[in-house]
């Protein structure tokens, strides 16, 4: 007998060791850009509580146990740096680095992948493919692995970008080598636990949905068991090899998006110990560059745009989850990217959007129309996702780490 897989989201051991208010990984506690924190409309321009100069990166800040961690390239050095800041004051607690090979990339040479905090450690994945475990208190390096070199995998055009996923005793990353499309390393040792698939890597971060690892690779949307056994796959390839969005779960479907192939919804069915996956819908107009959609009720809120160097522009859309039908759209909300956070308890949600021109917008989710509640210029150009913890928003632009107070 077949049954549709509708089990709840599982996010791994890191959420068991992190406080409820923490934002310890890419896209937040559940890796879906949501938080139960309520954000009220502000009535005057938002001003930073503190700012700190930092190195080059598109990697996002994460927050755990009162500390903000940021991963970047120090000015004038071929190195990756992890720094820790006091979340209340911005005081830099420590800054540690390792040297790496020189890399020259379009849109900056700093790291893209966001750190993950778990088990008293911080895990980073640099743009040259170096996976590192750091002591979260001191910044000391516990272990370091050159994943691309060890698995003879080629780097991506814009550099390794998928954020590490920590589940219990393993750290899972996209590598893209032969029989090493995805690789899990021991969280304590750095030794290989398992490796699976021949899929090329993408820029998209893996996630755990329905008690499975779900990854948008350079060739497929894939489901694997929590110990790396391939379970199902649906071909989904971006023409530019630039898939960058994290898959999400919505209404019993798995949604994946790409910058040229649009968006697809996948229904996964289990029966007799095996899984079948098929497209529920496919909308090629819903092209996402690297903004992961969020879900509120029966609707997706997503930022769509194209990979173009001439007059880039993105559009915010509300999309019906079950059909992929566009309910409304608001054009010109940024150039290439805007990060969306779902804030508040069920039934009282609001959406917070940080666009790549540095504007922060609060709007109400509604299937009929766009309802803006507040808007403020808060930073310079940015492609990093913000982190919301205890009423404070932590974000970075091209030059600074910034803390904003959103509480009244």
Domain that holds residue 255: 2-405
Mean pLDDT, the chain, rounded, equals 93
Q: Check which CATH number belongs to the domain holding 49 and give it.
A: 2.140.10.10
pLDDT of residue 104: 87
Q: Which helix (H) or strand (E) holds 3?
A: strand 2-4
pLDDT of residue 21: 77
pLDDT of residue 15: 37
Model confidence at 310, pLDDT cuts 50, 70, 90, reads: confident
Cα 283 from Cα 326, distance rounded (Å): 10
What does the pLDDT look like over 23-37, one tens digit per residue? 999 999 999 999 999
Average pLDDT over residues 358-382: 98
What does the pLDDT look like over 252-276, one tens digit per residue? 999 999 999 999 999 999 988 899 9
Count of the separate structural domains present in the chain: 1
pLDDT of residue 345: 93
HSE (side-chain half, CA atoms, 13 Å) at 74: 13
Q: Is the pTM of this model over 0.85?
A: yes
Residue 304 sits at the vertex; the CA angle it makes with 303 and 305, to the nearest 5 degrees, is 130
pLDDT of residue 408: 64
Cα 172 from Cα 192, distance rounded (Å): 10
Q: Which spans in 30-142 are helix H?
A: none
Closest alpha carbon to 394 in 18, 54, 19: 54
| CB-based contacts of 346, cutoff 8 Å, min separation 6 | none
18 CA to centre of own chain: 18
pLDDT of residue 9: 42
Q: Tell me which of 11-20, 37-46, 98-107, 196-205 is least confident.
A: 11-20
Cα 354 from Cα 405, distance rounded (Å): 15
Residue burial 382-405, b: 16+ Cβ < 10 Å; e: rest: bbbbbbbbbebbbbbbbbbbbbbe
pLDDT of residue 11: 42
């Amino acid at each position: 007998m077949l049954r549709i897989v509708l089990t709840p989201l599982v996010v791994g051991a890191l959420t068991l060791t992190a406080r409820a208010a923490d934002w310890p990984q890419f896209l937040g506690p559940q890796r879906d850009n949501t938080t139960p924190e309520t954000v009220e409309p502000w009535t005057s321009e938002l001003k930073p509580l503190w700012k700190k100069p930092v190195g080059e990166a598109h990697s996002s800040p994460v927050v755990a146990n009162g500390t903000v961690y940021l991963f970047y390239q120090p000015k004038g050095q071929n190195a990756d740096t992890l720094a820790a800041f006091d979340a209340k004051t911005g005081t830099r607690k420590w800054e540690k680095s390792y040297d790496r090979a020189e890399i020259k990339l379009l849109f900056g040479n700093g790291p893209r992948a966001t750190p993950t905090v778990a088990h008293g450690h911080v895990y980073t994945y640099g743009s040259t493919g170096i996976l590192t475990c750091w002591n979260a208190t001191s910044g000391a390096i516990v272990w370091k692995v050159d994943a691309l070199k060890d698995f003879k995998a080629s780097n991506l055009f814009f550099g390794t970008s998928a954020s590490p996923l920590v589940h219990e005793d393993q750290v899972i990353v996209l590598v893209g080598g032969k029989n090493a499309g995805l690789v899990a390393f021991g969280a304590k040792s750095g030794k290989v636990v398992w490796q699976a698939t021949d899929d090329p890597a993408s820029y998209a971060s893996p996630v755990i949905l329905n008690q499975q690892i779900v990854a948008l690779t350079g060739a497929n949307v894939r489901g694997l068991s929590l110990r790396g056994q391939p379970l199902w796959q649906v071909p989904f390839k971006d023409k530019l090899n630039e898939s960058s969005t994290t898959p999400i779960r919505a209404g019993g479907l798995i949604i994946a998006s790409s910058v040229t192939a649009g968006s697809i919804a996948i229904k996964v069915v289990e029966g007799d110990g095996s899984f079948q996956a098929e497209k529920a819908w496919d909308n090629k107009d819903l092209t996402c560059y690297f903004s992961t959609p969020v879900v509120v009720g029966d609707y997706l809120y997503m930022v769509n745009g194209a990979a173009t160097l001439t007059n880039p522009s993105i559009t915010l859309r509300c999309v019906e989850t079950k059909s992929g039908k566009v309910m409304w759209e608001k054009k010109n909300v940024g150039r290439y990217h805007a990060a969306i956070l779902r804030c508040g308890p069920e039934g009282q949600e609001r959406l917070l959007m940080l666009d790549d021109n540095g504007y922060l917008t609060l709007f109400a989710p509604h299937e009929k129309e766009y309802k803006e509640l507040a808007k403020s210029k808060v930073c310079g150009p940015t492609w990093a996702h913000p982190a919301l913890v205890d009423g404070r928003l932590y974000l970075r632009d091209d030059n600074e780490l910034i803390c904003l107070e959103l509480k009244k």
